[in-house]
Amino acid sequence: MNDAARSATDSTRDKHGLIVIGGAGGFIGGSLARYFHERGHTRIRAVDKKPLPEWYQRVPGVESLCMDLSESANCVRACEGACEVYNLAADMGGMGFIENFRVECLRSILINTHMIEAAYRAGVARYFFSSSACAYNTELQKDPKCPALKESDAYPAMAERGYGWEKLLSEMFCQEYWAERGMMTFIARFHNVYGPYGTWDGGREKAPAAICRKVIEAKDTGRREIVIWGDGSQTRSFMYIDDCVKGIDMITHCEELIATPINLGSSELVSVNELVSLAESIGGITLERSYDLDAPRGVGGRNSDNTMIQRILDWQPNRPLRDGLEQTYAWIEQQYMDRKAGKRTVS
């Protein structure tokens, strides 16, 4: 085990400094709050603009605040007394959202801009920013068989319109707050995260959740068909949520990674067609496939090159897709049934 892994799992690490998590009413932020809480951190402040009853997870013992972090005064309040700040707040979703709401995506620049300044003024020791594989040059991702993306592939820049450019510019803020002002910042480029407590319906859901839901719906209604966005040949890798939160912790406690964007993603590449087959086999059903070629499909292919994370952290996200998808399918199925029964659900 190397230093970063040791620090992330170190039982002697200070557990009483205030951790602030922006976007904690959502999927990854909520899971991160739970992760730190379960590891004995005693002071966690979770912040999200959604009203508290709409948060995906509320962790007992965690201070939960409803505030819009695109406003500077709220960021100042959120960062008060913080040792570490994790910014996971963003207006985001799957391809259906980021291709149709580019202005909303770009406006998330306000969140990081105010949050990082507030963190700096509050004297925080470590600041984490959740970037995305959408920051990579889209020219390199046309072919479903394109090589995995390594960290240097973000430049020359031609990021995903809207969402990707917001991420790239926010990364630069993080790098300059370190270079010019000496605040330690950490940046992970997430590749498609999935798992329980993720958005699974409503238009912002990503492919794994959407496909599980469609299979569950088909089983429930008896309409044994599924509509796939694009021709199904587009490839992606998908990271299970437990790997994501562990990776965030390890990256943020690795001095070698200060102000250095790093991939945080699985390198298990599958096509959307293969993802559908996996969900079908978990659901024990085979569906008639049709393809909506006008639907948003994103780039042709995208995978995470994990050479750097493996070298520096001696670790990489490793939950097999089949295993993670089984957990996710079971959770979405329960959500689906709960909603049918008129109970409150996530998204």
User: Which residues are catalytic, by number?
Assistant: 163
Task: Please report which helix (H) or strand (E) contains residue 240, including its range.
Answer: strand 239-240
- Determine how many CB atoms are found less than 10 A away from the CB of residue 93: 20
241 binds ligand NAD (CB under 6 A): no
119 binds ligand NAD (CB under 6 A): no
41 binds ligand NAD (CB under 6 A): no
Binding test (CB under 6 A) with ligand NAD, winner from 8, 19, 25, 184:
25
192 binds ligand NAD (CB under 6 A): yes
Distance between CA 185 and CA 187 in Å, rounded? 7
303 binds ligand NAD (CB under 6 A): no
As measured in angstroms, the least distance from the Cβ of 330 to ligand NAD is: 19
Closer CB to ligand NAD, residue 66 or residue 285?
A: 66
Of 49, 63, 7, the residue nearest 257 (C-alpha): 7
Contact window for ligand NAD (CB under 6 A) among 8-16, 62-70, 291-299, 330-338: 62-70
Q: What angle do CA 258, 134, 268 make, to 5 degrees?
A: 85
252 binds ligand NAD (CB under 6 A): no
Binding test (CB under 6 A) with ligand NAD, winner from 88, 119, 254, 269:
88
132 binds ligand NAD (CB under 6 A): yes
- What are the residues whose beta carbons fall under 8 Å from the beta carbon of 284, sequence distance 6 or more? none
Binding test (CB under 6 A) with ligand NAD, winner from 21, 46, 85, 92:
92
As measured in angstroms, the least distance from the Cβ of 277 to ligand NAD is: 21
Q: Give the single-character DSSP code of 191.
A: -
- Residue matched to tokens 């803020």: 173
Binding test (CB under 6 A) with ligand NAD, winner from 34, 206, 236, 253:
206
Binding test (CB under 6 A) with ligand NAD, winner from 13, 39, 43, 50:
50
3 binds ligand NAD (CB under 6 A): no
The β-bridge relationship of strands 288-292 and 235-237 is unpaired
Distance between CA 112 and CA 86 in Å, rounded? 10
162 binds ligand NAD (CB under 6 A): no
As measured in angstroms, the least distance from the Cβ of 285 to ligand NAD is: 26
Q: Which residues of 136-156 are buried (b: 16+ CB within 10 A; e: fewer)?
A: bbbebbeebebebbebebbee
Contact 189, 262 (CB under 8 A): yes
48-to-54, 76, 95, 123 alpha-carbon distances in Å: 10, 14, 22, 22
As measured in angstroms, the least distance from the Cβ of 193 to ligand NAD is: 4
Of 168, 51, 151, the residue nearest 109 (C-alpha): 168
Q: Give the single-character DSSP code of 132.
A: E
68 binds ligand NAD (CB under 6 A): yes
70 binds ligand NAD (CB under 6 A): yes
Chain residues that interact with ligand NAD, rule: CB under 6 A:
23, 25-29, 48-50, 68-70, 88-92, 111, 130, 132, 190, 192-193, 199, 206
